[in-house]
Amino acid sequence: MPHVDPFPEPSSKSSIPVRPELDEAQEAKYDEVLQYFLKLEKVPTSEKMTELTPITDDDRIFLTRECFLRYLRATKWVVPDAIKRIEGTLGWRRQFGVDPETTLTADLVSEEGETGKEVILGFDNDSRPCLYLKPGRQNTKASHRQVQHLVYMLERVIELMPAGQDQLALLIDFKPYKVNTKNTSKMPSVGTGREVLHILQTHYPERLGKALLTNIPWYASAFLKIIHPFIDPLTREKLVYSEPFPNYVPKEQLEKDFGGDVDFEYVHEKYWPVLTKLTAEKRAIYKHNFELLGCKIGLSEADLRNPNLVVPAPKTDAVVDAVAEKVEELKVNQTETVSAAV
């Protein structure tokens, strides 16, 4: 039978690369960013940062250790730039509305997903969840909801990341498909392309680990050339053109169409509810751990993703323990003395 569900976990053949330790200067810059946000009381309500409102737990849960490091790497470890970018993203997230339970819901973008033009399926060799983009399956006219759909899928990909991995893999297939809709363009406009690039590079920095592109027709090649100047140089290095996907993704989690073993069939009525439920469960674990760890800024995403997190009991000072023990002993002695006198 065809496979119709997303994979919940990476293949046993995948592994998570170990990131190099921060040097002393990098740790100092990280601590500077952390201390700034620990003292922050208000955050922007939009990307333009013209209005501020009190910080909330929705903001705090976004401000993880890994988040600060992603923005520091993206800004070449320039602390003021990283801080400004993070504040801008906090404002953008409020303005755009990324909450899957209140604003950017599964129902809102469900129609965009009916043909499987964006699908989360499997993990690559480095345990990055794979997001397939298939513009040939485009089923709607250009609109803001198309951008919302992409952001929705990006947020779900992030929720599926295993502990220790904070990047994703894009698998972009330009092959044409027969889709029963009219007046749709298989390629986004340059304006939409620039908006999407802005969102990806500004508000999801260092999230892209690898982008594999295949079946590139002449018009797609022309589009890529047009937007190429707007692509960050670091992002360009992650683009791989027309190489075999099995070089990067284990066959047991890769579609047959791309050289894998998975006979995947996209059935929206089956896939969509499973993806929604699976990511909701991951999100619930993340929020539960955030509360368990005190709703603090600067928590580790590895801890927040851990389904079996155990929080150690707080350590107390040995001297304080000894004093408390002595006080209890004096109380007992005093009680015994009073009893004897009576």
Q: Pick the residue with more confidence: 161 or 327? A: 161
* 331, pLDDT greater than 60: no
pLDDT, one tens digit per residue, over 91-132 is: 999 999 999 999 999 999 999 999 999 999 999 999 999 999
Residue ranges and CATH numbers for the domains of the chain are 106-279 (3.40.525.10)
Least confident of 69-78, 92-101, 140-149, 320-329: 320-329
Give the per-residue pLDDT at 189: 63
pLDDT, one tens digit per residue, over 224-264 is: 676 666 667 777 778 888 899 999 999 999 999 999 999 99
What's the average model confidence in pLDDT over 302-314?
A: 87
Report CA dihedral (90, 93, 94, 100) to the nearest 10 degrees.
-140
Give the per-residue pLDDT at 191: 67
Q: Pick the residue with more confidence: 159 or 141? A: 159
Give the per-residue pLDDT at 168: 95
How does DSSP classify residue 102?
T
Q: Is 93 helix (H, G, I), strand (E, B) or coil?
A: helix
The tokens for 316 are 């107390």
The tokens for 193 are 């392309």
Place of tokens 């496979």: 3
C-alpha–C-alpha distance, residues 246 and 65, integer Å: 33
* 336, pLDDT greater than 70: no
Give the per-residue pLDDT at 235: 75
Cα of 270 vs its chain's centroid, Å: 24
Give the per-residue pLDDT at 142: 85
Q: pLDDT class for 342, splitting at 50, 70, 90?
A: very low
Give the per-residue pLDDT at 201: 87
Q: Which residues pair with 170 in a beta bridge?
A: 131, 211
pLDDT, one tens digit per residue, over 181-193 is: 555 655 566 667 7
The tokens for 226 are 């047009």
Give the per-residue pLDDT at 341: 45
Place of tokens 């800004």: 75
Give the per-residue pLDDT at 340: 47
C-alpha–C-alpha distance, residues 161 and 302, integer Å: 10
Report CA dihedral (70, 72, 76, 79) to the nearest 10 degrees.
170
With CA atoms as reference, report the closest residue to 249 among 82, 130, 85: 130
Q: Model pTM?
A: 0.87
Average pLDDT, the chain: 88
State what percent of residues in the chain have pLDDT above 70. Answer: 85
Give the per-residue pLDDT at 232: 73
pLDDT, one tens digit per residue, over 52-65 is: 999 999 999 999 99
Count CB neighbours of 74 within 10 A: 20
Helix runs in the chain, H state only: 24-38, 57-62, 65-74, 79-96, 106-109, 144-159, 190-203, 218-227, 233-236, 268-292, 301-305, 318-341
* 167, pLDDT greater than 70: yes
Give the per-residue pLDDT at 43: 96
Contact 210, 234 (CB under 8 A): no
pLDDT, one tens digit per residue, over 255-307 is: 999 999 999 999 999 999 999 999 999 999 999 999 999 999 999 999 999 99
With CA atoms as reference, report the closest residue to 150 among 124, 184, 188, 190: 188
Query: Among positive and negative, which fits the CA dihedral 260, 262, 268, 271?
Result: negative
